[in-house]
Structure 1
Amino acid sequence: MGSVLTAFSACENADNSFPDYEGGTSVYFAYQYPVRTIVLGNDEVVNNSLDREHKCEIYSTMGGSYGGRNITIDIAVDNSLCDNLFFENDSPVLPMPSNYYKLAGNKIDYKGQHWGCVEVQLTDAFFADEKALENNYVIPIVMKSQTGADRILTGKPLVEGESPVRTNSIYWDVLPMDYVLYCVKYINPWHASYLRRGTDNITESGKTSTIKRHGATVEKDEICNVTTRSLKTCHFPVSTKLADGSSITCNLLLTFDEENRCSITSDTEGITASGKGHFEPKGEKKAWGNKDRDALYLDYTINYGIKQVATKDTLVLQTRGTNKMELFTPKYIAK
């Protein structure tokens, strides 16, 4: 009987409406320095349909209310937010050039929800810039005004009445949350960690040999990385051991066409390579985890000088590494 009453009470509570926080409803950006990676290949971990349209969304949220609100926030791009800011590696935080993107509007509408967003359309110019491969460009947005809430979280300066630079934290008692420096970069459709297996036909010092690389299962195969070099090219490092026990690495350059076929050359001075390959979505049936997986099929020869290796590889996609959140922590260095 007691359990029935408890369940009834729980249902009753679920239907109750609760008062909002007495301090009122606040709007803000949850993170000031998020990093958004545009993933151009199919992703089984997250829904990246927007990414493949070269789009993303910048969200703001609210606090102090149990229910959603019809809130509208006026926003503006403010490139001065990047002034005197540097990434952890000491490179400058750069405002994304205006011809690299277009905002869908200058407002964020919550539409009765706890959050709202503005859509960003990235242009071909963004994807043509090598700096778009790493943390370099941010879209700097600030909240200008709002309707439907009680306040914007503009922070509290250490010295009352002053208006310090938002991004210089040492002058703030409570940090402002009315802005975001939305860092955007991308990875191309072939960028991923793969499970590698295959065959190497080796010629060294006049002797030939064959090595087969196969784990007991696909999951036990060697893990390798194919990384974005540009929108249509990737790097794939391949290493081999020489007779003296030392290792040498060739950075293969994979150049893809519109049909997912690639040519293979060397991007390492003093080493030559040639070959071809192709990428096949879901090409490896029930490869691991009882699911079909994307695959790269490569056929290439590397001439290391004193050693030549003819290789046939099957690379089964393991992960695109998108199941984690990334933030950056900028440094403010006054000039």
Structure 2
Amino acid sequence: MKRIYAFICGICALSAFTSCENKEVEFDDFDYQTVYFAKQTPIRTIVLGDNVYPTELDNQHQFEVYATVGGVWKNRQDRTIQVAVDNSLVAGKTFENGSTIQALPEDYYELLSNTLTIPYGKVMGAVKVQLTDKFFDDAKATSLNYVLPLRIVGAKDSVLTGKDYILYGLKYINKYTGAWISHGTDEIDLNGVKSTETREAEYLEKNEIRYLTTEGLAVSNYSVPTTVEAYRYDDAAKAYKKTIVSLPCNLKLTFGQDESCTVVPSTAGCTGSGSGKWTLKGAKNAWGGKDRDEIVLNYTIDYEYTDYDPNNNWAAVQRHKIVKSADTLVMRDRQTKLETFVVK
């Protein structure tokens, strides 16, 4: 009988515990709510092509500017904010390097609405902006020169003082820009002495990293410096000494509609030519178990440099290092990061 009684008590206790439910604690909102721009000087890079994060808007030449609401535990209503372009916000202002901050020209964009909505259940909302072809045709848009200045001009909520505006820095990179893994074969003619260098590490990602930067929508710059041994005068020793000399060379890659490209040196002291082709996900299972974008290049570069002849009273002589390269580039990353700027 005692066992039965104990069993019944246990069941009752278990029922008591299981019948209790933790309810979500509801907090009251603050006495008033504010709307504002969380950051005043962000930099937005329009990333064309793929990236580790979604780029659908970027490839439509669009972006969104976000505002947020504070003073609520949970947003229980749609909140509308009126915004307007205010170029006076950048009048007479400069970037940290001293260059002038320029308001984004009116024909470079279209503000798709002057009303920004923070929807029920969310604490942020955005207004969408459409960029025009003129933005991408401007070489200055490949680096930070332009800013879209927006100000909150109306809201039912209070507007947070000092955060009622945003200077939205803008630039873009084309789909070829980024850090690339370079591997291949170089046939070298160093003043008549010929050799072949094969650049193939055991693991693809261990090969040399090279970089492409944006010059235009379909034009990229590719830096391919080399080194040679040459005599240079040492002021401290008051004598000529053989040293390692770096020879810069920048290649301009211009892509066509079929994604083939021409290769032309754009640096004084190097000449040559070549061709290539970009292929979306062309490097199959390249690294990290994923397909990667690929550029296959074939080019010849003549690096001309000055040396000094020890057998002819140190007379200056012109020498050449000619490199014929079969160069395959595999995309590693797009070199994008969170950025802000300083106003002076």
The TM-score with structure 1 as length reference comes to 0.86
Listed as ranges, the matches of 1:150-189 within 5 Å are 151-154=158-161, 176-189=162-175
CA distance 1:8–1:128, shift in 2 (3 Å): farther
Give the corresponding residue for 2:105. 97
Superposition pairs of residues 175-254 of structure 1, within 5 angstroms:
176-244=162-230, 245-254=244-253
Any unmatched runs of 5+ in structure 1?
155-175
Q: Tell me the alpha carbon deviations over residues 214-243 of structure 1, each in whole angstroms, 9 at most, x when there is no partner.
A: 122011011110000111100001011223
Give the match's secondary structure for 1:21: coil
CA–CA distance in structure 2, aligned partners of residues 329 and 56 of structure 1: 21
Aligned counterparts of 1:7 and 1:71: Cα–Cα separation in 2:
40
1:88 aligned to 92, 96, 99, which one? 96
The AA in structure 2 aligned to 1:122 is L
Work out the CA distance in 2 between the residues paired with 1:281 and 1:153.
46
Cα 1:62–1:239 shift into 2, 3 Å = same
Superposed counterparts of 1:119-130, under 5 Å = 119-130=128-139
- Is the CA contact 1:38–1:186 (under 8 Å) kept in the aligned structure 2? yes
User: Per-residue deviation at 1:271?
Assistant: 1.5
Q: Tell me which of 44, 67, 81 is aligned to 1:36.
A: 44
1:54 aligns to what?
61
Paired residue secondary structure (1:74)? strand
Identity %: 41
Q: Which residue type is aligned with residue 183 of structure 2?
A: R
Q: Who is 1:143 aligned against?
A: 152
Match of 1:12 in 2: 22
Please provide the CA RMSD for this pair: 2.0
The answer on 1:315 being equivalent to 2:329 is yes
Quick one: distance in 2 between partners of 1:82 and 1:7?
62
Q: In the alignment, what sits opposite 1:74?
A: 82
1:302 aligns with 2:305: no
Structure 2: unaligned runs, 5 residues or longer: 1-9, 231-243, 305-319
**2:331 counterpart of 1:326:** no
Matched pairs, number: 302
Counterpart of 2:205 in 1: which secondary structure? helix
Deviations 1:155-203 (A, max 9, x none): xxxxxxxxxxxxxxxxxxxxx0000000110000100101111110011
Which of 101, 117, 138 does residue 126 from structure 2 map onto?
117
**1:57 deviation in Å?**
0.3
In structure 1, C-alpha distance between the alignment counterparts of 2:278 and 2:334, rounded to whole Å: 15
Tell me the distance in 1 between the aligned counterparts of 2:277 and 2:82. 47
- For residue 111 of structure 1, report the CA deviation from its aligned partner: 2.2
For 2:50, what is the secondary structure of its paired residue?
coil
- The runs of 4+ residues in structure 1 deviating greater than 3 Å are 4-9
The aligned amino acid for 1:232 is A
TM-score of the two chains, using structure 2 as the length reference:
0.84
Contact kept in structure 2, 1:252 and 1:273, CA below 8 Å: no
2:229 is paired with a residue whose SS is coil
